[in-house]
């Protein structure tokens, strides 16, 4: 086994944040040097490359690894660390994970009170401001294991993310792409038939428009589908939108941004440690979203296996 290194290993996504990463990262390197923070840098050059780089960093002995980008970069870096830990039997508790927020989607940092500001985030890094975060393990229909830091979902949730990601691939950026995807999906999404169990107990069976599960409360550029979620409480929050007339559901949309979804009489919500979601027919084997990335299809099992990792966390 490689000797444990104390340097920070920064995995930089140069395409994050509408391509502004490098213009912000170069000054950030100067800040790291001024603060006396030892570090090395690795650049990604293709999708999922951060998974490979994080795994290689862990194998090389780095235990302080940071994603420079947005939620997608964080998702990949966490996946690389967790994959290596699962393969080697190394506790994830040995690692510190940070995000230097430059990406266009920065929902995870809101839950951890990390400022959406590079200089302030590095300030937290310099003062060793860390806390624990639960790690969510997902098992998809094709048997793959996917790790989740923040939020995931199917139906409305995953199709909004799919549309946002397609727009990003075409070079579009900004808050408007989230609102466009939200509007489009509301009027084009068809219900899917699901069986949902929470900690072994059936909590829903029938047609639904959406299911979201959260380790943290924020997703989709500031929406709060699971507003009571906390990523250090050992529980997974979920929200289900059963099929209903659009005329009754559309007035509920502002609740997504107000953080009051759980108060709606039309929506089911709860908490558990293991959430099992199965399609009731072939057409309902919907796409799954983890941390804003599409990762496979139903069925899906989400669980909190008890693993934790230290993460950059601002003060309350």
What is the residue extent of each domain of the chain? 5-128, 139-303
User: Per-residue pLDDT averaged across 196-224, rounded?
Assistant: 94
Q: Which residue has the tokens 């790790």?
A: 147
CATH of domain 5-128: 3.40.50.10330
Q: Three-class SS of residue 233?
A: coil
Task: Quick: pLDDT tens for 127-174.
Answer: 999 999 999 999 998 899 999 999 999 998 898 888 888 887 776 766
**pTM of the complete model:** 0.93
DSSP conformational letter for 316: -
C-beta of residue 215 within 8 angstroms of C-beta of residue 303: no
CB proximity list for 200: less than 8 A, separation 6 or greater: 274
d(CA 310, CA 316): 17
- Same fold for the domain at 5-128 and the one at 139-303? no
Distance, in Å, from the CA atom of 108 to the CA atom of 254, rounded to the nearest integer, reads 21
pLDDT per residue as tens digits for the range 62-76: 999 999 998 999 999
**How far is residue 259 from each of residues 123, 222, 224, measured CA to CA in Å?**
29, 10, 5
User: Cα separations (Å) of 52 from 46, 49, 80, 82?
Assistant: 11, 5, 6, 11
Count of alpha carbons within 13 angstroms of residue 200, beta-carbon side = 0
Tens of pLDDT, residue by residue over 97-134, are 999 998 667 899 999 999 999 999 999 999 999 999 99
CA dist., res. 97 & res. 136, Å (int): 15
Residues 6 or more apart whose CB falls under 8 angstroms from that of 207 comprise 191, 192, 193, 194, 242, 243
139-303 adopts what CATH topology? Answer: Tumour Suppressor Smad4 (2.60.200)
pLDDT band at 23 (very low <50, low <70, confident <90, very high): confident
pLDDT at residue 163, rounded to an integer: 86
The more confidently predicted of residues 200 and 219 is: 200
pLDDT over 60 (residue 207): yes
Q: 112 in helix, strand or coil? A: coil
- 208 pLDDT tier (thresholds 50, 70, 90): very high
Counting Cβ atoms within 10 Å, is residue 238 exposed (0-12), middle (13-18) or buried (19+)? buried
For residue 180, what are its two tokens?
């466009």
**How far is the C-alpha of 186 from the C-alpha of 168, rounded, in Å?**
20
Query: Average pLDDT, stretch 22-48?
Result: 93
Our measurement of the distance from residue 279's CA atom to the centroid of its chain's CA atoms, rounded to an integer in Å, reads 23
- 96-101 vs 300-303, strand pairing mode: unpaired
C-alpha closest to that of 109 among 93, 91, 127, 129: 129
């Amino acid at each position: 086994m490689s000797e444990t290194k104390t340097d920070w290993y920064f995995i930089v996504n140069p395409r994050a944040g509408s391509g502004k990463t490098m213009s912000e990262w170069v000054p950030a390197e100067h800040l790291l040097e001024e603060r006396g923070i030892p570090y090395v840098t690795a650049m990604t050059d293709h999708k999922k490359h951060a998974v490979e780089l994080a795994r290689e960093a862990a194998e090389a002995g780095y235990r302080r690894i940071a994603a420079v980008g947005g939620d997608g970069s964080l998702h990949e870096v966490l996946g690389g660390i967790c994959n290596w830990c699962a393969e080697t039997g190394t506790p994830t508790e040995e690692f510190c994970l940070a995000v230097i927020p430059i990406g266009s989607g920065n929902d995870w940092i809101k839950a951890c009170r990390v400022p959406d500001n590079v200089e302030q985030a590095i300030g937290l890094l310099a003062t060793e401001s860390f806390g624990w975060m639960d790690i969510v393990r997902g098992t998809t229909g094709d048997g793959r294991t996917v790790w989740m830091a923040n939020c995931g979902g199917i139906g409305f949730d995953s199709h909004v993310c799919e549309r946002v990601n397609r727009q990003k691939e075409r070079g579009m950026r900004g808050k408007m792409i989230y609102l466009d995807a939200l509007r489009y999906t509301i009027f084009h999404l068809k219900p899917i038939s699901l069986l949902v169990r929470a900690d072994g107990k059936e909590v829903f069976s029938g047609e639904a428009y959406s299911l979201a599960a959260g380790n943290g409360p924020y997703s989709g550029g500031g929406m709060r589908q699971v507003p009571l979620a906390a990523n250090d409480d050992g529980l997974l929050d979920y929200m289900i939108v059963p099929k209903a007339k659009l005329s009754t559901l559309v007035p509920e949309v502002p609740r997504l941004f107000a953080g009051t979804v759980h108060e709606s009489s039309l929506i089911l919500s709860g908490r558990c440690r293991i959430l099992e979601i199965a399609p009731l027919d072939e057409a309902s084997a919907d796409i799954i979203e983890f941390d804003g990335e599409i990762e496979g299809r139903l069925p899906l099992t989400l669980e909190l296996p008890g693993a934790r990792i230290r993460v950059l966390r601002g003060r309350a």
